[in-house]
Amino acid sequence: MQAVRSILVIIEPEHPEGYALKRAKLIAGVTQSHLHLLVCDKKHDHSGLLDVLANALRVDGYSVSSQQTWHENLHQTIITVQQAEGCGLIIKNHRPDNPLKKALLTPEDWKLLRYSPCPVLMVKTERPWAEGVILAAVDVGNSDGEHRTLHASIISHAYEIAGLAKGSLHVINAHPSPMLASADPVFQLSETIEARYREQCRSFQNEFGFDDEQLHILEGPADVLIPFMAKKLSAAVTVMGTVARTGLSGALIGNTAEVVLDMLESDVLVLKPDTVIAHLEELVEQR
């Protein structure tokens, strides 16, 4: 988070002082990042609104630029501007889609999470981050190099946000149920599975300094347990990650992040490993 030099803030003309702008001001106030305000609209002129917002931010000491544009659809507009401006973070308000509409059409926010080459912060509530719980969701059961790098990035970002907000870091990892037919005896009992996962988290605990009470190793599906723990802890932010699926054309986000986006009662930060980011940047350049 500290390395982000420019933040793309999606402005909704009907909610110009929305949660996204408030989060952007909080982060930029600490990181000294530049704020680029974007209205995605091809029908109406919002230059006056953007000028008012930008001037107010400059008076408060922020570095600001603004823009209104449109490229085919919402997520492509955002990603095109993100690449052109070199923004290292996208911040956008998220409102759950109508269930029927979601069943028929892939929501634009899902597409943004899938195809964005940089981290995306979906802002869902006005709950203050200050002194709140920052929940990092990892899956140490996937221990290949790409996943290990991603897990470190997830916990590192959550740790930085906790520092920024003077909050506390918590980490959740869901593990599968016992499999009696497993060739590995570790995976035949819940107790031995949990012990294995806790041991795999030990290096993160040593590096980032959180204790066993802040580490939650639970049995069950991640898309159920992550919202459950976020609600139990009253988390202000949930930090998640995604790795591209092998064999698919393009890079697709894991279903968990999409499923829990509407279920979570917290802001959601979604990260990707460098290899996926590089691939997505190539796709943007080919358009």
Model confidence band, residue 230 (pLDDT cutoffs 50, 70, 90): very high
Q: Are residues 227 and 147 in the same domain?
A: yes
Q: Is the pLDDT of residue 246 over 50?
A: no
Q: Which structural domain range is residue 212 located in?
A: 133-285
Mean pLDDT is highest, among 70-84, 139-153, 198-212, for 70-84
Residue 47 domain-assigned (yes or no):
yes
Residue 103 domain-assigned (yes or no):
no
Residue 121 domain-assigned (yes or no):
no
What is the distance between the alpha carbons of residues 12 and 160, in angstroms, rounded to a whole number?
A: 28
How much is the pLDDT for 37? 97
Tell me the CATH number at 255. Answer: 3.40.50.12370
Number of structural domains (the chain) is 2
Asked whether 90 and 8 are in contact (CB, 8 A), the reply is: yes
Residue 119 domain-assigned (yes or no):
no
What is the distance between the alpha carbons of residues 276 and 63, in angstroms, rounded to a whole number?
A: 30
Q: Are residues 142 and 85 in the same domain?
A: no
Residue 124 domain-assigned (yes or no):
no
Of all residues in the chain, what percent carry a pLDDT higher than 70?
Answer: 82
Q: Are residues 88 and 137 in the same domain?
A: no
How much is the pLDDT for 177? 73
Residue 99 domain-assigned (yes or no):
no
Residue of higher predicted confidence among 251 and 5: 5
Model confidence band, residue 146 (pLDDT cutoffs 50, 70, 90): confident
How much is the pLDDT for 281? 62
Residue 98 domain-assigned (yes or no):
no
Asked whether 172 and 229 are in contact (CB, 8 A), the reply is: yes
What is the distance between the alpha carbons of residues 165 and 3, in angstroms, rounded to a whole number?
A: 17
Q: Are residues 23 and 149 in the same domain?
A: no
How much is the pLDDT for 251? 39
Last residue of a domain, one of 93, 117, 145: 93
Last residue of a domain, one of 37, 69, 93: 93
Q: Is the pLDDT of residue 33 over 50?
A: yes
Query: Residue written as tokens 């028929």?
Result: 104
Q: Are residues 139 and 279 in the same domain?
A: yes
Residue-wise pLDDT for 187-219, tens only, equals: 566 778 888 888 888 888 888 888 999 999 998
Residues 178-189, mean pLDDT to the nearest whole number: 58
Q: Are residues 181 and 239 in the same domain?
A: yes
Q: Are residues 88 and 188 in the same domain?
A: no
How much is the pLDDT for 101? 60
Q: Are residues 143 and 56 in the same domain?
A: no
Residue 122 domain-assigned (yes or no):
no
Model confidence band, residue 267 (pLDDT cutoffs 50, 70, 90): very high
Last residue of a domain, one of 93, 125, 150: 93
Q: Are residues 137 and 13 in the same domain?
A: no
What is the distance between the alpha carbons of residues 271 and 121, in angstroms, rounded to a whole number?
A: 9
What is the distance between the alpha carbons of residues 215 and 192, in angstroms, rounded to a whole number?
A: 16
Mean pLDDT (the chain) is 85
Bridge pairing between strands 120-123 and 89-93: parallel
Q: Are residues 77 and 150 in the same domain?
A: no
Q: Are residues 44 and 179 in the same domain?
A: no
Q: Are residues 68 and 139 in the same domain?
A: no
Residues 160-188, mean pLDDT to the nearest whole number: 77
How much is the pLDDT for 184? 60
